[in-house]
């Protein structure tokens, strides 16, 4: 039986990505990063992002499809994300679908991050043992899900304010570090020495929700009162901030694992590339819980993870025209709208 071949498109924020999949195998995964465009602003500028997607999506799509005579469908990120960026991906996908006369389906960007945990050496594996807990940590999201199966998700808790990745970027900006901020804070925190600094660990009581705005404010007040930051103080501040974020993520994740009696944890999203987070969770949870992380190149936004969503729909016979773009709160099952922009 011929394996299904399909195109996947990702344009939710500041990466333009197009992938080609044949069954479980990722044939091509092309990514254009906009980091150089946004570095001057130390943050993503939505108008700049959407224009860059418009400039790059055509060439990437043509390159992904080069030499391909037939595809069976197109899958794209319908949300959550920046609305202008989402619209570029949708229109490009809709154009290819209409021209080739193949089904088009929009999938949830956050489900893509989760399913990235099953990509290994360019191929989609069957790693999940449902039910499992998913910790999604990225620039725009800090969420805990209970996953009962592919397309069967329940949102357990999210952030009340800043996401973890957003807090990393904002603190990096306060400390006058480079962009993107997460890797810069991690690099600084790993340096030897450093002043001992104590920051509060965020903990929203009696819930599985997160909150990082207070921690960010504590850093801002520390910098205000400290005056000029020397190297030792910068190292200590970066380390204390990173430890507080990771400890907060651990507290809620451990509570979710215990509450639902789940033995598998999938950690995904851009912040899941953080080495300290990976090490800390393995040390704290590794004996009783099977931990899954994406390969680091699949932690950031990419079309291969969107292709993994498409593959699971093909597998279940659920691949059909479904092009709604949305940014509603909550993700529960396929066909419902999802996530938070």
In this predicted structure, the answer to whether residue 328 has a pLDDT above a threshold of 60 is no
Among 39, 46, 36, smallest CA distance to 11 is for 46
In this predicted structure, the answer to whether residue 340 has a pLDDT above a threshold of 70 is no
Give the integer Cα–Cα distance in Å for 280 and 283: 5
In this predicted structure, the answer to whether residue 317 has a pLDDT above a threshold of 90 is no
Give the integer Cα–Cα distance in Å for 102 and 6: 9
Under DSSP, the state recorded for 3 is P
Long-range interactions of 148-153: CB distance < 8 A, separation 24+: 150/312, 150/315, 150/316, 151/111, 151/312, 151/313, 151/316, 151/318, 151/333, 151/334, 152/333, 153/111, 153/331, 153/332, 153/333
Give the integer Cα–Cα distance in Å for 223 and 44: 24
In this predicted structure, the answer to whether residue 179 has a pLDDT above a threshold of 90 is no
In this predicted structure, the answer to whether residue 322 has a pLDDT above a threshold of 80 is no
Superfamily (CATH) of domain 132-294: ATPase, nucleotide binding domain (3.30.420.40)
In this predicted structure, the answer to whether residue 148 has a pLDDT above a threshold of 50 is yes
- The pLDDT of residue 1 is 65
- Tell me the percentage of the chain whose pLDDT exceeds 90: 87
Domains 5-121+297-315 and 132-294 belong to one CATH topology: yes
- The pLDDT of residue 321 is 63
Average pLDDT of 168-190? 94
- The pLDDT of residue 320 is 65
SS3 316: coil
Among 109, 2, 8, 113, smallest CA distance to 64 is for 8
76-132 pLDDT, tens per residue? Answer: 999 999 999 999 999 999 999 999 999 999 999 999 999 999 999 999 999 999 999
Among all chains, which residue has been given the structure tokens 């807090």? 167
- Tell me the percentage of the chain whose pLDDT exceeds 70: 93
> Token digits for 321?
């025209």
> Token digits for 95?
């154009």
Question: What is the residue extent of each domain of the chain?
Answer: 5-121+297-315, 132-294
Quickly count: other Cβ atoms within 10 Å of residue 228's Cβ. 6
User: Which residues, in sequence order, are bridge partners of residue 227?
Assistant: none
214-258 pLDDT, tens per residue? Answer: 999 999 999 999 978 899 999 999 999 999 999 999 999 999 999
- The pLDDT of residue 276 is 98
Q: How confident is residue 339, by pLDDT bands cut at 50, 70 and 90?
A: very low
CATH no. of 5-121+297-315: 3.30.420.40
Q: Are 243 and 249 in contact (CB under 8 A)?
A: no
In this predicted structure, the answer to whether residue 268 has a pLDDT above a threshold of 90 is yes
Q: How confident is residue 337, by pLDDT bands cut at 50, 70 and 90?
A: very low
User: Which residues, in sequence order, are bridge partners of residue 220?
Assistant: none
């Amino acid at each position: 039986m011929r394996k299904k071949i399909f195109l996947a498109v990702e344009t939710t924020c500041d990466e333009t990505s197009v992938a080609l999949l044949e069954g479980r195998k990722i044939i091509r995964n092309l990514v254009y990063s906009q980091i150089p465009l946004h570095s001057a602003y130390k943050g993503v500028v939505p108008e700049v992002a959407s224009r860059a997607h418009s400039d790059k999506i055509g060439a990437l799509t043509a390159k992904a499809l080069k030499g391909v005579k037939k595809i069976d469908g197109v899958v794209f990120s319908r949300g959550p994300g920046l609305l202008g960026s989402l619209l570029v991906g949708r229109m490009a996908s809709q154009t290819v679908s209409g021209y080739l006369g193949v089904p088009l389906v929009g999938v949830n960007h956050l489900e893509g991050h989760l399913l990235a945990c099953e990509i290994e050496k360019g191929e989609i594996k069957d790693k999940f043992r449902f039910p499992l807990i998913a910790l999604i940590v990225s620039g725009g999201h800090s969420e805990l899900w209970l996953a009962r199966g592919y397309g069967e998700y329940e949102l357990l808790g999210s952030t009340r304010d800043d996401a973890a990745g957003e807090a990393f970027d904002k603190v990096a900006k306060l400390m006058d570090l480079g962009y993107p901020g997460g890797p810069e804070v991690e690099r600084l925190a790993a340096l030897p020495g450093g002043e001992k600094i104590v920051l509060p660990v965020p903990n929203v009581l009696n819930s599985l929700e997160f909150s990082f705005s207070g921690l960010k404010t504590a850093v801002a007040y520390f910098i205000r009162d400290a005056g000029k930051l020397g190297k030792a103080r910068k190292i200590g501040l970066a380390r204390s901030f990173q430890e507080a974020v990771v400890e907060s993520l651990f507290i809620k994740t451990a509570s979710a694992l215990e509450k639902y009696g789940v033995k598998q944890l999938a950690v995904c999203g851009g912040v899941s590339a953080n080495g300290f987070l990976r090490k800390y969770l393995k040390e704290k949870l590794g004996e009783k819980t099977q931990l899954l992380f994406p390969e680091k190149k699949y932690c950031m936004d990419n079309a291969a993870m969107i292709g993994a969503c498409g593959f699971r729909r093909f597998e279940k016979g659920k691949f059909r025209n479904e092009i709604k773009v949305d940014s509603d709160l909550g993700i529960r099952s396929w066909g419902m709208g999802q996530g938070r922009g």
